[in-house]
């Protein structure tokens, strides 16, 4: 007796998908499935590991090299471990619902082995089968794929388990039947055509950044009389742009307000942190998040309330360098400053009161700004460049800069 062999069965990885164009589909897959379909880019860049890898992996590495950049010795590669830590915290519930990873863009070098009929008539939902050995490359989201590999290889290192990771489902889009040149073009379009978000603006959206959180609390606490109405200062904060325009109804950007918070929190060392994420593990020694919030919110709210008329006048106060200097001065009144002379709130406000905040070269040229031949000021140096000089001028009225900003 002889058995007949099956003729219509296509074996491979079956994915449930929905098409959004004739050569592309979207769907979700389990993490183990992704890691099986897309080998670790780190492994594929390791000559020793690749030497003993199966032929399918070596073939995959060759195809990947046609459409992807290297991980090794690049910022992309350096980001992998921190990305894995972020993902693990999300999987473990540390971030609550406030975390996300983008869908991974995959390219199948060839055609699916099989495409089913619609599972639900009219829905477009169907299954496709990826034949074993057919290369699937992440042309966008490869850092995330590498992070998932690192996480799955050693979950204990990141405080999670294989059981938790096995339950993860990941969104993806899959392109197939495209030439190498077309896949390269998608890589280019995804990485170049989009306009990247400015780092400072992106940080102003980060609710795990303590500077951003306290800046929001300060803005909501202050009430001011604006154009005949009492309003929350929060309504006068520009969140979408890094810089104000002359016609902007806002008086200050959220990123600039965050500069004030970070320098008040850390003092001069905060200048280096104004463009870095500051989570709770980066607070000054001995300062807990609750203490920082309880001290800074009322102190900086009073600073903003007193400076409000100068903000309305579009004076130098709204410049990040000036706000950084004010923050450094306010740091001396927090109770946790480790250097310099401690200040009471009354002493702090006494130092700020006589300052000439008008945008005039006589006061700010060489301190927080530079003046051109006709005396027009440019505050473009930023907090890191000029914040320290502004702080010295505020804290030491008898110095050259201290007298200058006070019109003496």
155 φ/ψ angles, rounded to the nearest 5 degrees: -60, -35
pLDDT (0 to 100) of residue 7: 67
Q: 180 with 265, same domain? A: no
In a domain, 158, yes or no: yes
Q: Are 128 and 14 in contact (CB under 8 A)?
A: yes
**Of 194 and 144, which is predicted with more confidence?**
144
272-296 pLDDT tens trace: 888 888 888 888 988 999 999 999 9
Q: 147 with 214, same domain? A: no
pLDDT (0 to 100) of residue 49: 83
In a domain, 127, yes or no: yes
- Domains: count for the chain: 2
Give dist(CA 304, CA 135) in Å, integer. 58
pLDDT (0 to 100) of residue 126: 94
Give dist(CA 240, CA 248) in Å, integer. 11
Residue 8's pLDDT band, with cuts at 50, 70 and 90, is low
The closest of 268, 388, 287 to 336, measured between CA atoms, is 287
201-252 pLDDT tens trace: 676 677 788 999 999 999 999 998 888 889 899 888 887 777 777 778 888 8
Q: Which tokens in the block code for residue 292?
A: 């920082």
Q: 213 with 351, same domain? A: yes
In a domain, 3, yes or no: no
Q: 276 with 328, same domain? A: yes
- Please give the average per-residue pLDDT across 137-161, as a whole number: 94
Q: Which tokens in the block code for residue 255?
A: 């990123």
Q: 307 with 383, same domain? A: yes
Q: 62 with 164, same domain? A: yes
In a domain, 8, yes or no: no
70-90 pLDDT tens trace: 887 677 778 899 999 999 999
Domain boundary among 161, 194, 227: 194
Lookup result for tokens 């959220």: 254
16 φ/ψ angles, rounded to the nearest 5 degrees: -90, 125
Q: 216 with 352, same domain? A: yes
Q: 161 with 253, same domain? A: no
pLDDT (0 to 100) of residue 54: 85
10 Å CB burial of residue 39 (0-12, 13-18, 19+) is buried
**Of 200 and 17, which is predicted with more confidence?**
17
Q: 22 with 163, same domain? A: yes
Give dist(CA 283, CA 266) in Å, integer. 8
Q: Which domain holds residue 181?
A: 13-194
174 φ/ψ angles, rounded to the nearest 5 degrees: -125, 125
How many whole angstroms from its chain centre is CA 374?
A: 40
198 pLDDT above the threshold of 90 = no
In a domain, 386, yes or no: yes
DSSP structure string for 11-50: PSEEEEEEEEETTEEEEEEEHHHHHHHS--HHHHT-HHHH
Give the CB-side neighbour count of residue 107, counting CA atoms within 13 A. 24
Give dist(CA 264, CA 323) in Å, integer. 10
In this structure, the number of other CB atoms found within 10 A of the CB of residue 393 comes to 27
Q: 183 with 288, same domain? A: no
In a domain, 41, yes or no: yes
pLDDT (0 to 100) of residue 201: 65
Q: 292 with 383, same domain? A: yes
200 pLDDT above the threshold of 70 = no
In a domain, 37, yes or no: yes
Q: 168 with 253, same domain? A: no
């Amino acid at each position: 007796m002889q058995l007949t062999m099956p003729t219509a069965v296509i074996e491979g990885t079956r994915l449930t998908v929905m098409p959004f164009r004739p050569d592309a589909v979207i769907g979700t897959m389990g993490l183990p499935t992704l890691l099986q379909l897309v080998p670790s880019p780190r492994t594929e860049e390791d000559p020793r590991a690749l030497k003993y890898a199966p032929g399918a992996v070596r073939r995959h590495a060759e195809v990947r090299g046609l459409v992807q950049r290297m991980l090794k010795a690049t910022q992309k590669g350096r980001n992998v471990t921190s990305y894995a830590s972020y993902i693990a915290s999300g999987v473990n519930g540390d971030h609550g619902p406030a975390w996300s990873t983008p869908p991974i863009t995959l390219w199948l070098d060839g055609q699916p082995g099989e495409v089913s009929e619609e599972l639900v008539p009219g829905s477009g939902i169907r299954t496709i089968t990826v034949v074993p050995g057919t290369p699937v490359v992440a042309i966008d989201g490869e850092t995330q794929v590498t992070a998932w590999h690192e996480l799955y290889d050693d979950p204990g290192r990141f405080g999670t388990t294989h059981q938790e990771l096995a339950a993860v489902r990941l969104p993806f889009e899959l392109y197939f039947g495209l030439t190498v040149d077309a896949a390269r073009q998608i890589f280019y379009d995804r990485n170049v055509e989009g306009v990247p978000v400015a780092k400072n603006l992106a940080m102003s959206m980060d609710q795990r950044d303590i500077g951003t959180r306290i800046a929001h609390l300060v803005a909501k606490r202050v009430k001011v009389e604006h154009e005949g109405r009492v309003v929350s200062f929060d309504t006068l904060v520009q969140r979408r742009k890094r810089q104000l325009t002359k016609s902007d109804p806002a008086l200050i950007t959220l990123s600039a307000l965050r500069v004030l918070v970070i320098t008040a929190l850390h003092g001069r060392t905060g200048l280096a942190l104004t463009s870095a994420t500051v989570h709770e593990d980066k607070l000054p020694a001995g300062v807990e998040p609750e203490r920082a919030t309880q001290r800074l919110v009322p102190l900086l709210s009073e600073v903003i309330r007193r400076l409000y008329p100068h903000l309305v006048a579009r004076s130098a106060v709204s410049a990040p360098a000036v706000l950084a200097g004010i923050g450094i001065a306010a740091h001396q009144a927090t109770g946790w400053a480790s250097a310099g002379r401690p200040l009471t709130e009354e002493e702090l406000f006494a130092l700020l009161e006589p300052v000439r905040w008008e945008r005039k070269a006589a006061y700010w040229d060489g301190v927080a700004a530079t003046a051109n031949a006709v005396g027009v000021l440019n505050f473009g140096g930023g907090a890191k460049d000029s914040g320290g000089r502004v702080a010295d001028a505020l804290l030491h009225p008898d110095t050259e800069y201290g007298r200058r900003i006070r019109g003496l």
